[in-house]
């Protein structure tokens, strides 16, 4: 009897597991389908694209790439270069200064330590869009439109990244280490740059990826500040593609534009997905 119950339990488990795998595979396909179609469609000519979906790639990838790359109205290589420059600068500033701020609050004792910390926590969730009006106005007054300064410098103050760095420091940095370095005669900045930063490397790497990606994808503010063709970033160009009369377009080229817009992030993700996924949780609340 015990045996038959065991068998029943095992059959039950097999059924449950099968159902779970079916759900997982369905969701995975749902996630991948549109991107798979994007990649396939970027290899098809405009004429081939009139035939609906296709499962297998065709031979026009390089033609589409050449057409998109040399397009007269949408200068995608320039856009990618611009986006890359802004995203790389933002990623470096965000991570360095968030680490610096977190270290300042974690290690030192000063009167405004607690208020400063509580302030950053309080503003952490305020959406950036609610200060956009004043921000745009200020940048117009300072004649900083069509300039990358307003897209790069504000990343020095990133409350969420600060919070992540603070939590990381709490778990990895023993204060004895700082004291020992002081006894050895190191200055405060030197301690931070040469001892603390290397310890924080994993946290910095993860946050660099996240801030690079969010800057690369950022559309709202850049679209309000950049209108010169040679200054535009990739998301602005994608939106431009949408507002043009698409029915006259070579669709192979359109798919190629979209592919180029997401490709850098996709490549980074393929190589670093494990640590990126780990980084998703590390900075959030724990029970």
- Per CB under 8 A, contacts with other proteins among 66-85 are none
The pattern of x and - marking residues 1 through 40 that bind other proteins according to CB under 8 A reads ------------x--xx--xx-xx--xx-xxx-xx-xx--
**In terms of CB distance, is 92 or 156 closer to other proteins?**
156
| Nearest distance in Å: CB 175, other proteins | 6
Residues 6+ apart with CB under 8 A from 189: none
Tokens coding 213? 């990606």
Site for other proteins in 107-146 (CB under 8 A): 107-113, 116, 118, 120-138
Q: Measured between alpha carbons, how far is 53 from 40 in angstroms, rounded to an integer? A: 9
**In terms of CB distance, is 3 or 243 closer to other proteins?**
243
Which residue among 2, 3, 4, 50 contacts other proteins (CB under 8 A)? 50
| Nearest distance in Å: CB 59, other proteins | 19
**In terms of CB distance, is 129 or 146 closer to other proteins?**
129
Tokens coding 52? 């609906």
- Total residues contacting other proteins by CB under 8 A comes to 107
Which residue among 8, 70, 246, 275 contacts other proteins (CB under 8 A)? 246
Q: Is 197 in the site for other proteins (CB under 8 A)?
A: no
Which residue among 5, 171, 242, 271 contacts other proteins (CB under 8 A)? 242
Q: Measured between alpha carbons, how far is 83 from 78 in angstroms, rounded to an integer? A: 9
For residue 114, how many C-alpha atoms fall within 13 Å in the half-sphere facing its CB? 1
Residues 6+ apart with CB under 8 A from 68: 74, 76, 253, 256, 257, 260
| Nearest distance in Å: CB 132, other proteins | 7
CA 170 to chain centre: 25
> Which residue is listed with tokens 């926590």?
121
Site for other proteins in 140-179 (CB under 8 A): 150, 153-154, 156-157, 162-163, 174-176, 178-179
CB atoms within 10 A of CB 99: 24
Q: Residue 149: phi, psi to the nearest 5?
A: -55, -50
Which residue among 98, 164, 169, 231 contacts other proteins (CB under 8 A)? 98
Stretch that binds other proteins, among 57-65, 74-82, 84-92, 255-263 (CB under 8 A): 255-263
Which residue among 74, 169, 181, 251 contacts other proteins (CB under 8 A)? 251
| Nearest distance in Å: CB 201, other proteins | 19
**In terms of CB distance, is 84 or 269 closer to other proteins?**
269
SS (H, E, C) 217-264: HCCHHHHHHCCCHHHCCHHHHHHHHHHCCHHHCCHHHHHHHHHHHHHH
Tokens coding 116? 């400063």
| Nearest distance in Å: CB 184, other proteins | 15
Signed CA dihedral, 245, 246, 248, 249: sign only: positive
């Amino acid at each position: 009897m015990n045996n038959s119950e065991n068998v029943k339990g095992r059959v039950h488990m097999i059924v449950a597991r099968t159902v779970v795998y079916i759900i997982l595979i369905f969701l995975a396909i749902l996630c991948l389908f549109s991107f798979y179609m994007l990649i396939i469609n970027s290899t098809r000519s405009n004429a081939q694209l009139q035939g609906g979906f296709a499962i297998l790639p065709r031979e026009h990838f390089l033609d589409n790439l050449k057409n998109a790359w040399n397009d007269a109205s949408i200068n995608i290589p320039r856009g990618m270069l611009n986006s890359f420059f802004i995203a790389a600068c933002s990623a470096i500033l965000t991570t360095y200064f968030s680490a610096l701020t977190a270290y300042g609050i974690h290690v030192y004792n000063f009167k405004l330590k607690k208020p400063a910390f509580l302030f950053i926590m309080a503003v952490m969730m305020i959406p950036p869009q609610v200060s956009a009006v004043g921000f745009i106005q200020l940048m117009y007054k300072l004649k900083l439109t069509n300039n990358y300064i307003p897209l790069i410098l504000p990343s020095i103050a990133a409350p969420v990244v600060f919070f992540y760095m603070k939590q990381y420091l709490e778990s990895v940095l023993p204060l004895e280490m700082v004291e020992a370095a002081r006894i050895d005669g190191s200055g405060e900045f030197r301690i931070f740059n040469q001892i603390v930063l290397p310890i924080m490397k994993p946290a910095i790497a993860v946050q660099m990826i996240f801030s690079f990606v969010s800057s690369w994808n950022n559309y709202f503010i850049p679209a309000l500040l950049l209108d010169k063709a040679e200054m535009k970033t990739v998301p602005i160009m994608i939106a431009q593609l949408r507002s043009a009369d698409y029915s006259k377009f070579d669709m192979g080229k359109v798919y190629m534009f979209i592919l180029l817009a997401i490709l850098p992030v996709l490549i980074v993700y393929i190589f670093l997905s494990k640590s990126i996924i780990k980084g998703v949780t590390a900075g959030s609340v724990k029970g």
